[in-house]
Structure 1
Amino acid sequence: MLYKEIHIGELIKNKVEEIEVTIRHIAEVFKIPENAVLEMFEKPELSTGELLKWSKLLRYDFFRVYSQHLILYTPQYPNPVKKNEKSKSMKFRKNIYSDELIEFVLELVKTGKKTKQEIVDDYRIPKTTLYKWITKHQVVSDLE
Structure 2
Amino acid sequence: MNIKSIHIGSLIRSKVEEHQISTERISRFLNRPEDEVERMYHAKSMDTDVLLKWCKLLKFDFFRFYTGHLILYAPQSRIDHEFCQNKNTLVFRKSIYTQEVKNFILDKIETGTMTAKDVMERYKIPKTTLYKWMKKI
Same fold (TM over 0.5): yes
Using structure 1 for the length normalisation, give the TM-score.
0.82
Please list, as runs of the form range in 1=range in 2, the aligned pairs for 1:72-111 lying within 5 A after superposition. Answer: 72-75=72-75, 76-77=78-79, 78-79=82-83, 81-83=86-88, 95-111=95-111
Please give the alpha-carbon distance, in whole angstroms, between the structure 2 residues aligned to 1:124 and 1:2: 19
CA contact (8 A) 1:71 1:94 kept: no
Moved more, 107-116 or 49-58: 107-116
Task: Tell me how far 1:94 sits from its aligned partner.
Answer: 7.7
Q: Give 3-state SS (helix, strand or coil) of 2:60's partner.
A: coil
After TM superposition, what 4+ stretches of structure 1 lie above 2 angstroms from structure 2? none
Please list, as runs of the form range in 1=range in 2, the aligned pairs for 1:59-138 lying within 5 A after superposition. Answer: 59-75=59-75, 76-77=78-79, 78-79=82-83, 81-83=86-88, 95-137=95-137
Please give the alpha-carbon distance, in whole angstroms, between the structure 2 residues aligned to 1:119 and 1:18: 32
Distance of aligned partners of 1:55 and 1:81 in 2 relative to their CA distance in 1, 3 Å threshold: farther
Task: Tell me how far 1:81 sits from its aligned partner.
Answer: 4.2
Establish whether residue 50 from structure 1 lines up as the match of residue 53 from structure 2.
Answer: no
Q: As a proportion of its length, which structure holds more helix?
A: 2
Task: Tell me how far 1:40 sits from its aligned partner.
Answer: 0.9
Number of matched pairs = 130
- Residue by residue, what CA displacement relative to the aligned partner does 1:20-72 show, whole Å, maximum 9, x if unpaired? 21111100111211101001111111111111100111111011111000000
1:12 matched residue in structure 2: 12
Task: Tell me how far 1:110 sits from its aligned partner.
Answer: 1.3
Q: CA RMSD in A?
A: 1.9
Tell me the percent identity: 45
Task: Tell me how far 1:82 sits from its aligned partner.
Answer: 1.4
